[in-house]
Amino acid sequence: MTRREAVALSIGLLALIAGIACALLLGADLGGLSEASRARIIFGLRVPEALAAAGAGAALGLSGLLFQLSLRNNLADPYVMGVAGGSAFGSVSALLILGDGAAAVILPARALCAFVSGMATLSILRRAARGRVVALLLGGVIANTAFAAAARVLAALLSPGQIAQVTVFLLGYVPTPPVWEPSLLLACVAILGAWAVYKSRTLDLLLLADDEALALGADVDRVRSRAMAAGTLLAAAAVTLCGMIGFIGLLIPHAARALSGHRHRTLVPLSCLLGAALLLFAHSGAKALAPWVLLPVGAYTSLLGAPAFLWLMVRANKASMTVE
């Protein structure tokens, strides 16, 4: 590990620690409450929220890194590619089918439906694009909008309480779940992150042209397909727990590469750390602005991500014009 990579990982770890501290300390003033009440709020509400935000942010950051690598395009992320929208549609469909039931049954079923729907969306768009990355990204934006609209239509068939849940879900939020729910998400991130680190040398080869990577021993198609499947699973898991939170998967890989370079042995854990920290800070900011109101954290990430996406598009266009 180079000194630059060590410094980058240290920055990511410090950012995560600061994000956790903000998530636990910011919010409604607890000064007038008893010690027991403060403990219940911190450990019963704020700790699960912090775990959910950290897990979803890490999953989206790593998902964006895998998608950008697989397509060799820095504008790719699960939100832009339509995977998040497809996953949200699958999750809402599962809610409609299962109705009100035990969370231990509903959450895994929703996650499975979200993953299947996200994979189906990705497969259809890849086949329709026929290898054209720009067509795939444009199709993903259209699919994302269409699926979000379809999820709202399905919501009309739900109970009033579920309609409110779906409305907030489509905006993106950090819930207050039982601890085992974000723990499952964090376990998923840890397993797929470990796989990505183990395959980091092969992932580095995907940055080369396909024929060069093949000459160096990389099974390009298989690794690319597995990386995109892993990115879809991570996005589906994050969407199931926290809803539609956009642009983290777009911004975090760029920040990670700016800090550490292009070796995925470092990029994978750094993307997880920075993604978790960003969503923790966004969640803390929402609580600080309105401690007693549930504000959609997805709105904050979109406000940050939309201009960044436009800037990346302009930069990409300038680069292509320079090459031509």
Residue pLDDT, tens place only, 162-183:
777 777 778 888 888 888 889 9
pLDDT tens digits along 261-315: 889 999 999 999 999 999 999 888 887 776 666 667 887 787 777 777 777 777 7
Could you give the percent of the chain with pLDDT greater than 70? 90
User: Cα separations (Å) of 299 from 53, 104, 152, 163, 194?
Assistant: 14, 29, 17, 19, 31
User: Cα separations (Å) of 127 from 123, 130, 231?
Assistant: 6, 5, 18
User: Residue 102 has what pLDDT?
Assistant: 52
| Over residues 203-211, mean pLDDT | 84
pTM here is 0.89
Both tokens of residue 277? 């920290």
Range of the domain at 31: 3-323
Confidence band (pLDDT; 50, 70, 90) for 323?
Answer: very low
| Over residues 2-24, mean pLDDT | 92
pLDDT tens digits along 242-273: 888 888 988 899 999 999 988 999 999 999 99
Task: Please tell me the distance from the alpha carbon of residue 227 to that of residue 291, in angstroms, as a whole number.
Answer: 39
Both tokens of residue 201? 């040398």
Helix (H, G, I), strand (E, B) or coil at 239: helix
User: Residue 29 has what pLDDT?
Assistant: 67
Q: What residues have CB less than 8 Å from 305, skipping those under 6 apart? A: 246, 247, 248, 250, 251
If you search the block for the tokens 């907030």, which residue do you land on?
168
pLDDT value at 101 more than 60: no
Q: What is the CATH number of the domain that holds 106?
A: 1.10.3470.10
CA dihedral 281, 282, 283, 285 (to 10 degrees): 80
- Would you say 129 and 139 are in contact if contact means Cβ atoms under 8 Å apart? yes
Confidence band (pLDDT; 50, 70, 90) for 19?
Answer: very high
Could you give the percent of the chain with pLDDT greater than 90? 32
Q: Could you give the number of structural domains in the chain?
A: 1
